[in-house]
Every structure is written in structure tokens, then in C-alpha cells.
């Protein structure tokens, strides 16, 4: 018999309520991490919209706007899954222009995008943002529970889904990079919530026994 799962709207409202119970005031950061192509971007969009309904000032960002230049990724090994995990994103830039200034909760400005993947160049005229004392930053991506980022999130979601076998070289790289990341970090043990997104219209929260 199929297991019941709530509508996406209800699941998002449940997570938002849980988050706001602990972070109703002040600046807070939320990571929506997940396997390659698990639907974390769309899930993060929905969670941000749900939090906005609570009158919280919410900002959205994606790690895909902080890639390394393609030459750097090629040098590391374009189809090498471990190189992709280690070198695909510019975490120094991400922290310098977005995560660290947002977390200071002062008047320091921050930017939501650092690299233009289509043009393969840094964003030359970034739009600087500011926020009041009460604000939330929701970031989606992969590898967000890696050791240098995991302590910086106030709340995090690990999104997974049943995946079809990889059909392309890039999908194979993504799947193998996922396995390396999971075996190295075990994001499900670090996340505040685990979501099975196999049915995106009915995402189901999973509770794992850590004993």
C-alpha cells in the first residue's frame, strides 16, 4: 500500500512553522541541499515563498550563481566526480560577498549572485542588497553540508528522491559526486529535516534513527 504524503503546500508550511519557532527574530540562514537533480531549487523557492507569507524579509540565492570559471573546472577535471565536488564552486567568493556579510546582521551589503554561468564571467556590476535585523537567506544547491559550510546554517534541509539510472556523462558525474559527498559528509545526519522529493507534489518528511 502506498505511503501517505502531504501536499507540498502543507509540507512547506510545516517546515516554515518549525523554523520560525526557533528563528522568529534576527538574521537566519537556511540551506536546501540535495542530490543532483533532486528538485532542491524548486523546493527552496517554495519554502522562501512560504516564509515570506509570515512577513519575514526573505532573500533567495543559489550555489549555481557561484560557480568557478569553466577553465578552473576543466583544469580540475570536467567529468571527474571528486574534482567536481571539490572545485566546481567558488566557496571563498560565496562567503565573502554573500554569506558572511548577511550573517553579520549589520549594515554591510551583500550580493545574491557572484558568477554569470551563461557568460562564464564574474558578475561585473552586482546588485548590492541590504537587510534589516530580521531577515532570512534561503540558499539551494549541492554540497551545502560540506565541512566549511555546515556550521554556518541555522536550519538545513536535505532533499533526496528516487533517481533513474544516469543517461549522460554529466548525470553520471553528478551521481558519482553525490555518492562521494554522502560517504564523506553524510548530510542526512547534519540536516534539520530530510525530505523525500520523489513525488514533488507530495514531498514526504523522513525521520532517520541516529542511534
Which pLDDT belongs to residue 25? 92
Q: Give the mean model confidence (pLDDT) for residues 24-34.
A: 96
Axis-axis angle for helices 8-22, 40-52 (nearest 10): 60
pLDDT band at 75 (very low <50, low <70, confident <90, very high): confident
**In the chain, where are the structural domains located?**
8-206
Q: Over 80: is that where the pLDDT of 134 sits?
A: yes
Q: How much of the chain, in percent, has pLDDT values that exceed 90?
A: 78
pLDDT (tens digit per residue) in 167-197: 999 999 999 999 999 999 999 999 999 999 9
3-class state of residue 92 by DSSP: helix
* Residue 210 confidence class, pLDDT cut points 50, 70, 90: very low
DSSP, res 105: -
Give the pLDDT band of residue 3 (cuts 50, 70, 90): low
**Closest-CA residue to 129 (of 140, 114, 117):** 114
8 Å CB contact between 61 and 25: no
Q: Tell me how far apart the alpha carbons of residues 31 and 154 are, in angstroms, rounded to a whole number.
A: 8
pLDDT value at residue 211:
39
- Exposure string over 126-154, b if 16+ CB within 10 A, otherwise e: eeebebeeebbbbbbbbbbbbeebbebbb
Per the prediction, the chain carries an average pLDDT of 92
> Residue 14, Cβ neighbours under 10 Å: how many?
14
3-state helix, strand, coil in the chain (%, to 5): 40, 20, 40
Cell numbers standing for residue 148:
566549511
DSSP 39-72: SHHHHHHHHHHHHHTTT-EEEEEEGGGSBPPHHH
Yes or no: say if 13 and 193 are a contact pair by the CB < 8 Å rule.
Answer: no
Query: What is the CATH number assigned to the segment(s) 8-206?
Result: 3.40.50.300
Query: What integer pLDDT is reported at residue 85 of this predicted model?
Result: 95
pLDDT at residue 6, rounded to an integer: 82
For residue 74, the model assigns a pLDDT of 86
pLDDT for 4 equals 62
- Average confidence (pLDDT) over 133-158: 97
Q: Is the pLDDT of residue 128 over 70?
A: yes
Amino acid at each position: 500500500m502506498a505511503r501517505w504524503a502531504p501536499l507540498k503546500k502543507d509540507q512547506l508550511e510545516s517546515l516554515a512553522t518549525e523554523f520560525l519557532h526557533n528563528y522568529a527574530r534576527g538574521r537566519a540562514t537556511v540551506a536546501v541541499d540535495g542530490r543532483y537533480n533532486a528538485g532542491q531549487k524548486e523546493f527552496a523557492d517554495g519554502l522562501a515563498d512560504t516564509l515570506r507569507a509570515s512577513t519575514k524579509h526573505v532573500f533567495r540565492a543559489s550555489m549555481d550563481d557561484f560557480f568557478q570559471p569553466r577553465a578552473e573546472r576543466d583544469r580540475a577535471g570536467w567529468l571527474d566526480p571528486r574534482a567536481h565536488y571539490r572545485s566546481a564552486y567558488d566557496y571563498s567568493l560565496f562567503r565573502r560577498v554573500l554569506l558572511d556579510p548577511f550573517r553579520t546582521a549589520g549594515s554591510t551589503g551583500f550580493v545574491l549572485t557572484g558568477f554569470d554561468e551563461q557568460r562564464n564571467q564574474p558578475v561585473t556590476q552586482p546588485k548590492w542588497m541590504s537587510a534589516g535585523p530580521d531577515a532570512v537567506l534561503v540558499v539551494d544547491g549541492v554540497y551545502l553540508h560540506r565541512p566549511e559550510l555546515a556550521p554556518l546554517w541555522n536550519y538545513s534541509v536535505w532533499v533526496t528522491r528516487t533517481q533513474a539510472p544516469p543517461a549522460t556523462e554529466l548525470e553520471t558525474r553528478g551521481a558519482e559526486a553525490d555518492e562521494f559527498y554522502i560517504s564523506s559528509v553524510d548530510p542526512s545526519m547534519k540536516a534539520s529535516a530530510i525530505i523525500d522529493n520523489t513525488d514533488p507534489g507530495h514531498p514526504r518528511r523522513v525521520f532517520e534513527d541516529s542511534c
